[in-house]
A and B are shown apart, each in its own frame.
Chain A
Amino acid sequence: MNGPHDMGGMQCYGPVEPEIDEPVFHGEWEKRALAITVAMGAAGMWNLDQSRFARENLPPVAYLSSSYYQIWLAGLESLMKARGMVNGAELESGKLEISAVQTKRPAPDRAAMGVALAAGGPVSRETSTQPAFAPGEPIVARNHHPQGHTRLPRYVRGRPGIIAAVQGFHVFPDANADGQGEDPHWLYSVAFRARDLFGAGSHEVFVDCWEPYLERAVE
């Protein structure tokens, strides 16, 4: 989706403002917002790509005027409401109105959560296929503008690049966010020249691109 989250190459947001001695959290609510979001992910009712899409899919004004953890909370509420896990009145009042739905996985306790955090959730998958592209090969990033989730940023679409590395065979976010299953594909690191992306600059930008994002360059 061409949403406000896709910020690469925008010029309207002003300078970066690093905060000296920044705390890990700015207030108690940020801690709890992180914890609730991570813990709810363990219920198995949505995957990482669905949660990213829920955040991207906020109204643009809300996305751009919310802090990071406010965006997380808004995304979380939207995911839960869509699955009938809570309703709007409950979110307003905090009073239980509809009974809990059966989650795919039970809520982990403290010990189980510690184990889960340390284990993470690898997205690499087994395959018997071979990658279509090899390092050094020229490609063009597809010029596509899907309505749903994608991890191909707008600033590289339609632009030429070179395969820099094969990064493994990974869950494909576009399908996974759309509830079509993991549909894994080969993942590549693709090097783009700044002057091909922005018309100027001597640097290179490396973007992780799944195979369906790429087309063979024609001479």
Chain B
Amino acid sequence: MGKDDGHDHHDHEHSHLEGMELKVRTLESLLVEKGYVDPGALDEIVETYETRVGPRNGAKVVARAWSDAAYLERLREDATAAIAELGFSGRQGEHMRIVENTAEVHNMVVCTLCSCYPWPVLGLPPVWYKSAPYRSRAVSEPETVLAEFGVKLPEGKTIRVWDSTAEMRYLVIPERPPQTQGWDEEQLAALVTRDSMIGTGLALSPGAASGQAT
């Protein structure tokens, strides 16, 4: 939304939001009354994705992959099992595969048909990932899309776009930043952003990690 949105527009947005709050409350109480859903189960779902599952899970996987060659090999062989070793598994992560960025190759992930996304390692997808602009152009003009994220790749690097059309879920292992020799996994994980694991960003440089959002 632009900064010149008028007052009417805000009123409209506000009443629209209230309309959705009412609609969903009505639906929820109907479904509970019919015995189709259990209120405690609803709370469990919200709490899981609001507080327990998010991109810091994926950052731990990446940090381990950067630090432990044997773990990286297990990720290549069976990413689902290797990620489960760290305690991350479940819905929308049943069939995981890693794709590794190198000096020659940059990977990025999209779901052109809906919003497939590896929930156990990245949490629920951001709005832009589910949006028409990203879904439409990530496959046809990835360089332009990357530029919209402020990412410019070195000349000659090949881009591989992964369109997640089945239940396979992709986790990008970004390139390990230079000058991180001897860093422990916790320090390394702080350099791993959500976007770097989708491929719309790169891992942070040492020194840029403080204060980053999840």
Contact = CB atoms under 8 A, between A and B. Distances in A.
A28 B127 CA distance: 16
B30 interface: yes
Given A6-B112, A36-B28, A73-B24, A13 B90 contact: no
Contacts of A64: 132
B27 A117 contact: no
Contact of A122 (B95, B133, B195): B95
B20 A29 contact: yes
A31 B112 contact: no
Given A8-B140, A13-B132, A205-B163, A120 B112 contact: no
B43 A11 contact: no
A101 B140 CA distance: 46
Contact of B136 (A9, A93, A107, A122): A9
A12 B135 CA distance: 12
A29 B27 CA distance: 11
Contacts of A171: 167
Interface string B132-149: 111111011111010011
B44 A113 contact: yes
B27 A107 contact: no
A143 interface: no
B46 A31 contact: yes
A151 B166 contact: yes
Nearest to B131: A16
Nearest to B17: A27
B132 A29 contact: no
Interface residues of A, number: 94
Interface of A: 5-22, 24-29, 31-36, 38-40, 42-43, 48, 52, 55-56, 64, 68, 70, 73, 77, 85-86, 90-91, 93-94, 96, 100, 103, 107-114, 116-124, 151-153, 155, 167-168, 170-171, 173, 187, 189, 194, 197-198, 201-210
30 contacts: A6-B113, A7-B136, A8-B136, A9-B139, A10-B137, A12-B136, A16-B149, A18-B128, A18-B149, A24-B54, A24-B123, A27-B20, A31-B46, A31-B50, A32-B25, A32-B28, A34-B49, A35-B46, A36-B24, A39-B38, A68-B130, A94-B29, A110-B40, A110-B44, A113-B41, A120-B91, A121-B91, A202-B159, A203-B160, A204-B158
Interface of B: 17, 20-21, 23-31, 33-38, 40-46, 48-50, 54, 89-95, 97, 112-115, 120, 123-124, 126-128, 130-137, 139-143, 145, 148-149, 158-168, 195, 200, 213
Given A9-B139, A11-B137, A15-B133, 11 more contacts: A8-B112, A8-B136, A8-B163, A13-B133, A16-B148, A29-B20, A34-B124, A36-B24, A64-B132, A108-B41, A209-B165
